C-alpha cells in the first residue's frame, strides 16, 4: 500500500499558542486513519492543514506527493471535506447546495445533475432534494455534508467529527456510508472523540493531546498493548486498596485508583473476579478493555478546558 499523506515535524502556532507541536505521521492509500483526542488537542488544526485551508507554521506535509499549502488547487481537487461545523447555505435547497460545489469544481451541468442524483441516493436524501436546509434534522444535514464532500469524486476524504450530536441510528448510517467509501478505495482521515467511532472505522489511529501524538497503532493493538484484555473495576474507598491489591498478589494485574474506583488491568479478568469474590466486595465488575481505557490512561481522567 502506498503512502498518501506524510507529515514531518508538522507545527502550527497561533501567537503564543502551539496548537500542533511538531508531529509526524503517515497515512496510507486506502486506509481509514484517525486522530483521536480531547477538546483542543489539535485535531481540526491538523486536518485543516491536510486539506489546504490553513498554512503550516513549520515542518513538511505532502499529500499525493505534492506539498500541502493554502490554496493548492490540485490538492483541493482530489480532496473531499466533511467539516466539523455544519456550514451549509441556509438560503438554498439541498440540491442547490450541491450545485454550488459542482460549479466550484468546474463540473459541467449535465454531469453535475447526474452526480447530485446519485449522491442524494447514496446518503438517502433523494426525497429532500427540494427542501430548504432549515427543514432538515441534524442527521440529514450531516449526511448532506457527506454528499457535498463527494461531488468531485475525491481520492481522499477528511471527516472532522462527522457524527457529533447525532442519535445512534443516524450515527450508524454515517458509519455505513464511510465504510462503503473505504471499500471503494477512498482514503479516509477521521477526527473523533468517540471511542466507538474510532474502533468501528479506523485501521490505524493516533491519540493526540495538547498538540502532540502520544501513541499510534491499530485500535485493537493499542488496547492490547496499553491495557490488556480485561478490566476489573472495584468500587471501594481508597483505604481498602492495600488489602485488595495484596489479596491479588500473583495475578500480575496492573492497578490504578481513580476517584471511587480501583481498576485492575489484566489478562484473566474471570480469574481475578473469582479471587476477589473471596473478599466479599459488594461492587465489582469485569468487562473487556476498550479504546476508552487507552484514551483515559494516555490523556488523563480530568477535564481539559
Minimum distance, C-beta of residue 36 to ligand ATP, in the bound complex (Å): 10
Question: Residues 256 to 275: which contact ligand ATP by CB under 6 A?
Answer: none
Q: Contact, 36 vs 195, CB < 8 A?
A: yes
Q: Under rule CB under 5 A, how many of the chain's residues touch Mg ion?
A: 3
Could you say which of Mg ion, ligand ATP, none residue 271 binds, taking C-beta under 5 to 8 angstroms by partner kind? none
Helix axes 291-299 and 219-226, enclosed angle (nearest 10):
60
DSSP at 258 = E
Say how far apart CA 64 and CA 49 lie, in whole Å.
Answer: 14
Q: Which is nearer to ligand ATP, 42 or 219 (CB)?
A: 42
- In this structure, the dihedral spanned by the alpha carbons of residues 165, 171, 174 and 176, taken in order and rounded to 10 degrees, is 170
5 binds ligand ATP (CB under 6 A): no
Q: Which is nearer to Mg ion, 43 or 204 (CB)?
A: 43
Which of 4, 5, 7, 19 binds ligand ATP (CB under 6 A)? It is: 19
Q: Which is nearer to Mg ion, 48 or 177 (CB)?
A: 48
Q: How many CB atoms are closer than 10 A to CB 152?
A: 19
22 binds ligand ATP (CB under 6 A): no
Nearest Cα to Cα of residue 82 among 135, 161, 193: 161
Listing DSSP states for 8-66 in one string gives: EEEEEEETTEEEEEEEEEEEETT-EEEEE--TTSSHHHHHHHHTTSS--SEEEEEETTE
* Grid cell in block for residue 127: 426525497
Question: Residues 41 to 70: which contact Mg ion by CB under 5 A?
Answer: 43-44
249 binds ligand ATP (CB under 6 A): no
Question: Residues 138 to 197: which contact ligand ATP by CB under 6 A?
Answer: 193
Question: Residues 69 to 98: which contact ligand ATP by CB under 6 A?
Answer: 84
Q: Which is nearer to ligand ATP, 98 or 195 (CB)?
A: 195
Helix (H, G, I), strand (E, B) or coil at 190: strand
Residues 182, 184, 185, CA angle at the centre, nearest 5°? 65
Minimum distance, C-beta of residue 227 to ligand ATP, in the bound complex (Å): 23
43 binds ligand ATP (CB under 6 A): yes
Q: Contact, 191 vs 42, CB < 8 A?
A: no
Q: Which is nearer to Mg ion, 46 or 236 (CB)?
A: 46
Minimum distance, C-beta of residue 54 to Mg ion, in the bound complex (Å): 12
Q: Which is nearer to Mg ion, 40 or 271 (CB)?
A: 40
- Which positions touch ligand ATP (CB under 6 A)? 14, 17, 19, 37, 39-45, 84, 193
Amino acid at each position: 500500500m502506498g503512502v498518501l499523506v506524510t507529515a514531518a515535524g508538522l507545527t502550527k502556532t497561533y501567537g503564543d499558542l502551539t496548537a500542533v507541536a511538531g508531529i509526524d505521521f503517515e497515512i496510507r492509500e486506502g486506509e481509514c486513519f484517525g486522530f483521536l483526542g480531547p477538546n483542543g488537542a489539535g485535531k481540526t488544526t491538523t486536518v485543516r492543514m491536510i486539506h489546504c485551508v490553513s498554512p503550516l507554521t513549520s515542518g513538511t506535509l505532502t499529500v499525493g506527493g505534492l506539498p500541502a499549502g493554502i490554496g493548492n488547487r490540485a490538492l483541493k481537487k482530489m480532496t473531499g471535506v466533511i467539516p466539523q461545523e455544519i456550514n451549509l447555505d441556509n438560503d438554498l435547497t439541498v440540491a442547490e447546495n450541491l450545485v454550488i460545489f459542482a460549479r466550484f469544481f468546474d463540473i459541467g451541468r449535465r454531469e453535475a445533475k447526474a452526480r447530485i442524483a446519485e449522491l442524494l441516493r447514496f446518503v438517502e436524501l433523494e426525497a429532500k432534494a427540494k427542501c430548504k436546509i432549515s427543514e432538515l434534522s441534524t442527521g440529514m444535514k450531516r449526511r448532506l455534508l457527506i454528499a457535498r464532500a463527494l461531488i468531485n469524486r475525491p481520492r481522499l476524504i477528511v471527516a472532522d467529527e462527522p457524527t457529533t450530536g447525532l442519535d445512534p441510528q443516524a450515527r450508524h448510517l454515517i458509519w455505513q456510508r464511510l465504510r462503503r467509501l473505504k471499500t471503494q478505495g477512498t482514503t479516509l482521515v477521521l477526527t473523533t472523540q468517540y471511542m466507538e467511532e474510532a474502533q468501528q472505522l479506523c485501521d490505524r489511529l493516533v491519540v493526540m493531546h495538547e498538540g502532540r501524538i502520544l501513541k499510534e497503532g491499530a485500535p485493537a493493538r493499542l488496547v492490547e498493548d496499553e491495557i490488556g484484555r480485561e478490566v476489573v473495576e472495584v468500587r471501594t474507598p481508597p483505604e481498602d486498596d492495600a488489602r485488595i491489591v495484596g489479596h491479588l498478589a500473583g495475578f500480575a494485574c496492573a492497578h490504578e485508583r481513580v476517584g471511587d474506583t480501583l481498576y485492575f488491568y489484566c489478562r484473566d479478568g474471570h480469574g481475578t473476579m473469582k479471587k476477589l469474590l473471596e473478599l466479599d466486595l459488594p461492587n465489582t465488575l469485569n468487562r473487556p478493555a476498550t479504546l476508552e481505557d487507552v484514551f483515559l490512561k494516555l490523556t488523563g481522567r480530568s477535564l481539559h478546558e
